[in-house]
Amino acid sequence: MTAPVTAGEPGERRAWGWVASLREGGTTPWAAWSGEGEARGRVLPGAQQLELLRRLNEAGHPTPELVRRVLEASAPGRGRPDLELVGAVDPGPFGPRPVDPADLPDDELVRVATSVLADDLAAAALPDPAAVPRRPPWRHRFRLVGDPWLADAARRALVERGRAPGGRGARVLVLADDLGAMLADAWRHRVLTEGAPPWRDWLADTVSRDRVPPRVDVARALDTWSGRAGRDRVRLVLDPAALPRLTGTRTPLPPAPVLSADGAELARRTAPVLGLLALPERRARLLREAFLPRLAALGGPPLGVPPELAGWVRGRAERVREEVLAAGYPVVGDVDRLLPRLREGAREPSDAGVLDLAVRLLLAGDGRDTPTRTEDHR
């Protein structure tokens, strides 16, 4: 541990001077800072919090409220504790070593940012769930299954139009896309629901088991639903433009939200923290209805399959295509859409990109929501 120095020693005064400058919007790195200041708190904020504030100052103009929240935040979950500034305290024989904040990995700053972002989200107001209009008896009866990202988005849009799925004798529409995109969809869906390991780990695990997640296992879905509803009621839908016709609506459906690789990773890391601030049902809605639109609005390259796993994905997709053709399931669209296509995008999220996104979100949300911890919000 670093032995605490006597209040007023030069190192500590220098640290408090830096804190004051950062509070005023300063961007000077700690190593280049030489001014001094008076203590303005119980303890010096941690190096992670101070460096995150410096990055916020570089990117914009955080309000005093956001400054306070960042300086008071602790990194959630397991990981490195709040660290002392090197040169501010005498390194003693106990405790973690002091650091130069500029040497901290982006990942450490993201940890602190997720805590503040989770507070923002927990304070967000959600609209009352809209009343579902009555379904007319002459409606198209359908059920949307398959790729959860596509199916959820389509289902939501249809429900808003009074075209809720379900009903006796419903036609089962198995939504699918190329396997690379569907794997990314399945992971993103899991990120926003039950939580997920990092993209690479999740994908490597999927490949090592040689089994795709059930929701995007097209052949299995077709098989299961054929057995349950009858083969004549099942369609594999590979053409999103055909969905309005199949579901009995005239206007095109909005596309599924585009969540970038970095956005998905930030959501993955923020969601568990939100789990300590909101009950599961509200947490799910906050992620879907508040966080997802904010992340999607900031754009960024989508997620793709790393080159070393592309071979497995292609082989698996070709096998599924052959199974679908051999079984003779009705297909809406071109069955070749099941095969991986060359797409621009990131092979995995980057820590720098995630931090940049977090900083932009914090600045964009600054003043929008007032974090409170009332029972009503849980």
Among 6, 32, 34, 43, binds other proteins (CB under 8 A): 43
Closer Cβ to other proteins, 77 or 315, answer by number: 77
Q: Of 20-39, which residues contact other proteins (CB under 8 A)?
A: none
Output the six-digit token pair for 147. Answer: 């790729």
Q: x/- string (CB under 8 A) for other proteins, residues 109-138?
A: ------x--x--------------------
Burial class (CB in 10 A: 0-12, 13-18, 19+), 63: exposed
Burial 295-315 (b: 16+ CB within 10 A, else e): beebebbbbbbeeebeebbbe
Asked if 68 interacts with other proteins (CB under 8 A), we say no
Say if residues 355 and 268 touch (Cβ distance below 8 Å). Answer: no
Point out which span in 5-13, 89-97, 259-267, 320-328 binds other proteins (CB under 8 A): 89-97
Using left for φ > 0, alpha for ψ between -120 and 50, and beta otherwise, residue 340 falls in beta
Closer Cβ to other proteins, 71 or 158, answer by number: 71
Strand partners, 3: 90
Give CA–CA dist 208/205, Å, rounded.
5
Asked if 75 interacts with other proteins (CB under 8 A), we say yes
The CA-based angle 149-349-184, given to 5 degrees, is: 25
Catalogue the E-assigned strands of 170-215. 171-175
Say if residues 84 and 1 touch (Cβ distance below 8 Å). Answer: no
Say if residues 312 and 340 touch (Cβ distance below 8 Å). Answer: no
Asked if 230 interacts with other proteins (CB under 8 A), we say no
Point out which span in 42-50, 123-131, 292-300, 362-370 binds other proteins (CB under 8 A): 42-50
Nearest-approach distance from CB 299 to other proteins, in angstroms:
29
Q: Of 162-221, which residues contact other proteins (CB under 8 A)?
A: 205
Say if residues 171 and 140 touch (Cβ distance below 8 Å). Answer: yes
Among 110, 273, 305, 359, binds other proteins (CB under 8 A): 273
Closer Cβ to other proteins, 284 or 364, answer by number: 284
Nearest-approach distance from CB 96 to other proteins, in angstroms:
6
Residue 346 DSSP SS3: strand
Nearest-approach distance from CB 178 to other proteins, in angstroms:
27
Find all residues with CB under 8 Å of 318, minimum gap 6, and list them.
Answer: 339
Give CA–CA dist 314/283, Å, rounded.
36
Closer Cβ to other proteins, 158 or 273, answer by number: 273
Nearest-approach distance from CB 72 to other proteins, in angstroms:
5
Among 31, 241, 258, 279, binds other proteins (CB under 8 A): 279
Nearest-approach distance from CB 328 to other proteins, in angstroms:
34
Number of residues that bind other proteins (CB under 8 A): 36
Per CB under 8 A, residues contacting other proteins are 1, 4, 42-43, 45-46, 72-82, 93-97, 115, 118, 205, 272-273, 275-280, 373, 375, 378
